[in-house]
C-alpha cells in the first residue's frame, strides 16, 4: 500500500487513516485481529467498564432506515461490552504482541467516580493500549447510571472525567463527543481544557428507526417495548461533517478523529477536508465487512492523485477556508451581478418543484 496514506496523530503513526470504530466490529480479539489482517490501521475496542455484570444486552437491537429498498440509516441499541474486563486486558496484551505496528485504542466508560475512571485507565495502560478513548457520548449508555451521553451533555462532568483520566494515563487520550447537544464545542472545550489530547466526533444520534404500521410498535423492539437508539451510517454524514467543522474551526490545532457515515473514498476525503486527521468506521463494516478497507484506501488515493497530493495530511482542513456567513454569501452573489431567482417571490405555487431545482447545486 502506498505510503501516501501514512498519517500521524498525537505522535502515533497510523499506516492509513482508517480505524475500526468502537462497536460490534471490535467486540473481541478475534474480530480485531481480522480487521488488522484486512488492512485497517487500528481499532477502538468495544467500550469496557470495571463491572461487566451490570451490562444487559438485548436482541433484536438493530433497525434499518431504508429508501427505495436501500439502507441509508442504521439504529442500534447496542450497549458496551458484556465480557469480563480481565479477558479484555489479556486480549489487549496478546493483540499488541501479534500486531505491534497496529494502533489499539481502549474505549472506556464508567460512572462519574474518580477512583473508577483512574483504576480503569491504569489497567488498560498497563495492558498495552496505545491510546484511550473516553466514551462520554453513547446515547443509550446506561443513563440510569449517569454514563455515556448523560456525561457528555454536561461540560463540567466532561472536564472532570477527562482530567481524572489524564492524571492516570501514560498514553494520549481522546474524548468522544455526543451530537445530542446544541453546541458540540462546549463539552469539547471542557475536555481540552482538562488535558484531552484530541476529540472523537461524532457518536450516534438519538433516534427512532421506524414504526411498524401493522401493530404501531417502534422498530426494533423487544416483546413490544422499545427505547430511543443511536442513529448512524450515511444519513448522518451531513450532521457529522458540520460538527467536525465546528470543532476544527473553534480549535484549529486540535487532533480530531472523525466518525459518522464514512463508507467510501469520497466520504473519507470529505471528513479529512473538514478537519479530521483519522477516520473511524463502524456501521459500514457491519453492513459491508472488513474488506471494504481495500476500496477505502484505493478510492482515497485516487482522489489524492487527481490533486497531485503526496500525503493524506494535505487534505486535512482543506475546505474550512470556504465557510463564512449567510451575509457573506449574499454579498458575493450581489457583487457578481449574476441573474438569479434567489428572491422568494420566485415561488408562485405550482412551480415550487422547478424553482427548487434551479436553486440547487
Evaluate if residue 361 carries a pLDDT over 90.
Answer: no
Under the banding of pLDDT at 50, 70 and 90, the label for residue 225 is confident
- What single DSSP character describes residue 194? T
Under the banding of pLDDT at 50, 70 and 90, the label for residue 341 is low
Evaluate if residue 144 carries a pLDDT over 60.
Answer: no
Q: What is the dihedral of CA 340, 341, 345, 350, to 10 degrees?
A: 160
Domains of the chain: 3-322 (3.20.20.70), 326-358 (no CATH)
pLDDT in tens, 184-196: 999 999 999 999 9
Measured between alpha carbons, how far is 128 from 110 in angstroms, rounded to an integer? Answer: 20
Q: Span 336-346, mean pLDDT? A: 72
Q: Under a CB-based contact definition with an 8 Å cutoff, are residues 108 and 134 in contact?
A: yes
Strand, helix or coil at 269?
helix
Name, of 240-244, 325-329, 334-338, the range with top average pLDDT: 240-244
pLDDT: which is higher, 68 or 340: 68
Query: Distances from the Cα of 271 to the Cαs of 7, 32, 195, 250, 265, in angstroms?
Result: 15, 24, 24, 16, 10
Q: How many residues are given for the chain?
A: 361
Q: According to the model, what pLDDT value does residue 145 have?
A: 61
Query: Distances from the Cα of 248 to the Cαs of 55, 127, 132, 244, 320, in angstroms?
Result: 35, 32, 21, 6, 8
Give the residue numbers marked as catalytic: 138
pLDDT in tens, 260-278: 999 999 999 999 999 999 9
Evaluate if residue 288 carries a pLDDT over 50.
Answer: yes
pLDDT: which is higher, 140 or 93: 93
Q: What angle do CA 203, 264, 257 make, to 5 degrees?
A: 35
Under the banding of pLDDT at 50, 70 and 90, the label for residue 342 is low
pLDDT in tens, 318-327: 999 999 999 9
What is the average pLDDT value for the chain, to the nearest integer? 92
Q: What angle do CA 361, 250, 110 make, to 5 degrees?
A: 110
Q: Is 337 exposed, middle or buried (0-12, 13-18, 19+ CB in 10 A)?
A: exposed
Amino acid at each position: 500500500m502506498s505510503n501516501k496514506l501514512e498519517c500521524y496523530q498525537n505522535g502515533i503513526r497510523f499506516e492509513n487513516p482508517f480505524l475500526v470504530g468502537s462497536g460490534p466490529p471490535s467486540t473481541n480479539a478475534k474480530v480485531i485481529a481480522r480487521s488488522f489482517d484486512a488492512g485497517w490501521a487500528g481499532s477502538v475496542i468495544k467500550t469496557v467498564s470495571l463491572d461487566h455484570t451490570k451490562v444487559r444486552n438485548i436482541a433484536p437491537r438493530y433497525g434499518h432506515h431504508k429508501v427505495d429498498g436501500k439502507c441509508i440509516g442504521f439504529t442500534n441499541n447496542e450497549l458496551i461490552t458484556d465480557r469480563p474486563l480481565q479477558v479484555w486486558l489479556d486480549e489487549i496484551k496478546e493483540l499488541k504482541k501479534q500486531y505491534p505496528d497496529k494502533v489499539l485504542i481502549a474505549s472506556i466508560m464508567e460512572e462519574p467516580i474518580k477512583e473508577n475512571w483512574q483504576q480503569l485507565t491504569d489497567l488498560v495502560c498497563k495492558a498495552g493500549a496505545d491510546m484511550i478513548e473516553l466514551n462520554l457520548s453513547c446515547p443509550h449508555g446506561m443513563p440510569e447510571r449517569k454514563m455515556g451521553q448523560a456525561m457528555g451533555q454536561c461540560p463540567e462532568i466532561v472536564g472532570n472525567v477527562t482530567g481524572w483520566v489524564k492524571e492516570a494515563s501514560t498514553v494520549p487520550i481522546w474524548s468522544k463527543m455526543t451530537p445530542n447537544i446544541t453546541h458540540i464545542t462546549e463539552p469539547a472545550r471542557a475536555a481540552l481544557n482538562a488535558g484531552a489530547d484530541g476529540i472523537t466526533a461524532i457518536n450516534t444520534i438519538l433516534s427512532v428507526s421506524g414504526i411498524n404500521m401493522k401493530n404501531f410498535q417502534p422498530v426494533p423492539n423487544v416483546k413490544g417495548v422499545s427505547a430511543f437508539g443511536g442513529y448512524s451510517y450515511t444519513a448522518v454524514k451531513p450532521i457529522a461533517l458540520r460538527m467536525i467543522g465546528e470543532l476544527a474551526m473553534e480549535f484549529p490545532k486540535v487532533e480530531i478523529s472523525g466518525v459518522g457515515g464514512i463508507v467510501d473514498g469520497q466520504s473519507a476525503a470529505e471528513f479529512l477536508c473538514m478537519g479530521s486527521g483519522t477516520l473511524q468506521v463502524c456501521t459500514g463494516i457491519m453492513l459491508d465487512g472488513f474488506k471494504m478497507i481495500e476500496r477505502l484506501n484505493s478510492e482515497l488515493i485516487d482522489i489524492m492523485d487527481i490533486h497531485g497530493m503526496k500525503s493524506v495530511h494535505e487534505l486535512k482542513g482543506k475546505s474550512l477556508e470556504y465557510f463564512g456567513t449567510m451575509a457573506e454569501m449574499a454579498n458575493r452573489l450581489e457583487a457578481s451581478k449574476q441573474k438569479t431567482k434567489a428572491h422568494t417571490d420566485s415561488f408562485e405555487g405550482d412551480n415550487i418543484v422547478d424553482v427548487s431545482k434551479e436553486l440547487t447545486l
